Chains A and B, each alone.
Chain A
Amino acid sequence: MLYYSQVAGQEHEVTIQGEGRHLRVKSKNGSSDVRIEPGSDGAGYCIWLGQVPHPVSVQGWSGSWVEFLVAGRQVRIQVETEIDRLMLQGEGETGPGTSTLNSVMPGIVTRLLVSEGDEVAQGQPLLLLEAMKMENEVRAESAGRIDALHVSAGDTVDSGAPLLTVVT
């Protein structure tokens, strides 16, 4: 199986053979045996590349993106397969002139500062989103008119949830 890993804007081709916990990996620097074991205290993984152990904790997946912790470092990379790349080519753009603002964090909408139909300037505060006792101002990325509000005050939203749609 061929994977394309994107790390800090650079692409690395990695081939992995096998299934389960014993694998074989090939990259431009050579190949090596892989063994996947539970980490210490049964938490996370210990990925062995040949004789070298790498303790890894996965923070989460988002499509082909994975975030993990290795030796105290946070890594966020995209790992794509051939199939992912073919599917991406089929995806179109949304209608010109409208953009939906999605929440970058989970939180509670404490106050809406605009109404539907309002004209907003770039950088204008649109709503207040509270998370972990801190209130965050969500501002307009560009000037436009509020086409639709998808939330009301008091709503709990997940990361990525649509907040409002702006016509530019």
Chain B
Amino acid sequence: MLEKVLVANRGEIAVRIIRALRELGRKSVAVYSEPDVDSPHVQMSDEAYCLGPAPPLSSYLSVPALLSAAAKAGAQGIHPGYGFLAENAGFAAACKEAGITFIGPSSSVIESMGDKLKAREAAIEAQVPVVPGARIDSDDDSSLLESAREVGFPLLLKSVGGGGGKGMRVVTREEDLLGAFQSARSEAEKAFANPEIYLERYLTDVRHVEIQVAGDSHGNAIHFGERECSVQRRHQKVVEETPSPTMTSELRDRMTSASLSLCRRMKYTSLGTVEFLVDGKGDFYFLEMNTRLQVEHPVTELVTGQDLVALQIRLAEGATLFPQEEVQFRGHAIEVRICAEDPYRNFVPSVGTLDSLVFPQGPHVRVDSGVKQGQSVTLFYDPMVAKISVWAQDRPAAIQRMKGALSELQVGGVKTTGPLALEVLEHPRFIAGEWGTAFLEGWLKDRGPGGGSPENQELSAILGAILRHHRERGALSLVQAKPEAGHTNPWVVQARREGTSRRI
């Protein structure tokens, strides 16, 4: 049993892992970069250590700093979360060398699944269909072009070392290849410390469907059904749900048995996700396997009633999996990612202080958040600040519940993708379940960057005028009060000011 586990991550996922550890009766050790010192994950932990300054390379990506914190705390295990070092085979190996259990598969499995080409080979061996592609071995421009021509345009540049859309580019024309290649390389190097890029045929407007799997160290493997993740922008998932509205039980059987055959072949001993592209004909292609906890795992938890993070920890301790029949599916779940980006101005990052923050509540509404009111959203880390997930007995009811939840969300000081998700949920194609991975970007292009036309313009005009009047006429607003907002209740400040002006 791992009595004490270090959580090598930040934000909502660190909070999620600490919750699982607490429920299992294990002690948690949080780590943080200097600006994250007051973050929820730090305050929730049993003990916490500072890794270093804000840049990820000096903090959350620093293997020596993490291992030294683990040694100081006497942690027996390390949970990497997702992103950062979650799919870094070197880190898993370094943990093992230091005598610490890495909560994930073995470093050799991470290495072969993290290397997109080796993963393809493994998929082919396990008789899982794959997309045409090629690896770029040299820096030589002519060999790049040659491989690109072989694969064919449009093509996708992908980082060999990582996922999550980082280091990924779509190239439709030969003349854009070199520029896209260079910027993908530099992004990949920064995100995963590995600049290698891989080419793949870009299948347009297919669906992105993934299978949640788990394997144990006794040769068992089971699945937890699929997640539909086709609502994407720049390869970043925006809305995820399960079950997939277009899934048939025949296709699900084929996809889950392909995923399990890959798991068994790899001797996979942890939680993982096998990602596929599915076309309109019911053919599916292996995309990659994520050897870690997935951002969108809550939707699977909501329909199965399982705690996947607790399971992942138990598997690292050597537990035996329960039989497949114990995984029962009930109802429909949807997750929306809340990112600090302006969806009406080309998704520019929205940094600043979270002046106000109210999350939705209510039956079957789940919020995974790693931020609190008064905290700053900085440029150093992933823009995702929270996830909202809902469960309901069927898809229409889940959509209604999510619309209600999103209308309760209040975030001040920073713009988020919440309002965009609300528009997606109201889109006829989303409601009908008829869309592919090109749906969101196509729709955003058609409706222009302005978007967000308010339902009631007269009301917006009035509220805007009231806000300006309130801001300038003696009342101190939350936004103006920014520097001291963290420590002073602005309403108290306002009352004080009103009192003063009356005295004068």
Contacts and interface: CB of A to CB of B under 8 A. Distances in A.
A85 interface: no
B280 interface: no
A74 B458 contact: no
Contacts of B470: 21, 23, 36, 45
Contact of A125 (B179, B411, B468): B179
A137 interface: yes
A133 B412 contact: no
B478 A58 contact: yes
Nearest to A5: B461
Chain B interface, >50% SS class: mixed
A155 interface: no
Contact of A44 (B56, B403, B412): B412
A79 B407 CA distance: 24
B348 interface: yes
Interface stretch (B239-247, B324-332, B379-387): B379-387
Interface string B406-443: 11111111110011101000000000000000000000
B452 interface: yes
B459 interface: yes
B110 interface: no
Given A104-B345, A133-B190, A74 B419 contact: yes
Contact of B460 (A5, A29, A43, A159): A5
Contact of B466 (A8, A16, A40, A135): A16
B356 interface: yes
A128 to B, nearest CB: 6
Given A43-B412, A69-B419, A110-B186, A77 B461 contact: yes
B351 interface: yes
B138 interface: no
Contacts of B375: none
Nearest to B422: A72
Nearest to B166: A133
A39, A57, A66: which has the most chain B beta carbons within 10 Å?
Answer: A57
A3 to B, nearest CB: 4
Contacts of B179: 125, 137
A56 B456 CA distance: 14
Contact of B479 (A28, A60, A156): A60
Interface string A108-148: 10110000000000000100101111110100000000000
Contacts of B357: 43
Given A38-B491, A72-B407, A7 B412 contact: no
A5 B478 CA distance: 21
A159 B349 CA distance: 10
B342 to A, nearest CB: 8
A14 B462 contact: yes
A111 B191 CA distance: 16
B136 to A, nearest CB: 18
A39 B356 contact: yes
Interface string B355-384: 111100000000000000100000111110
Contact of B457 (A12, A72, A130): A12
A20, A110, A137: which has the most chain B beta carbons within 10 Å?
Answer: A20
A47 interface: yes
Contacts of B349: 105-107, 131-132
A58 B477 contact: yes
B153 interface: no
B407 A75 contact: no
Interface in B163-220: 166, 179, 183, 186-187, 190-191
B475 interface: yes
Nearest to A25: B462
Contacts of A7: 454, 457, 460-461, 464
Contacts of B473: 1, 19-20
Interface string B116-137: 0000000000000000000000
A42 B489 contact: yes
29 contacts: A5-B462, A7-B460, A8-B450, A8-B453, A12-B457, A19-B474, A25-B466, A27-B458, A44-B412, A45-B467, A47-B466, A57-B413, A58-B413, A60-B415, A68-B467, A70-B459, A70-B460, A70-B463, A72-B403, A72-B422, A73-B454, A74-B344, A77-B464, A106-B351, A106-B379, A132-B349, A132-B379, A134-B234, A135-B183
Interface of A: 1, 3, 5, 7-8, 10, 12, 14, 16, 19-21, 23, 25, 27-29, 34, 36, 38-45, 47, 49, 54-61, 64, 66-77, 79, 81, 104-108, 110-111, 125, 128, 130-135, 137, 156, 159
Interface of B: 56, 166, 179, 183, 186-187, 190-191, 234, 340-341, 343-346, 348-352, 355-358, 373, 379-383, 403, 406-415, 418-420, 422, 450, 452-455, 457-471, 473-475, 477-479, 489, 491, 494, 498
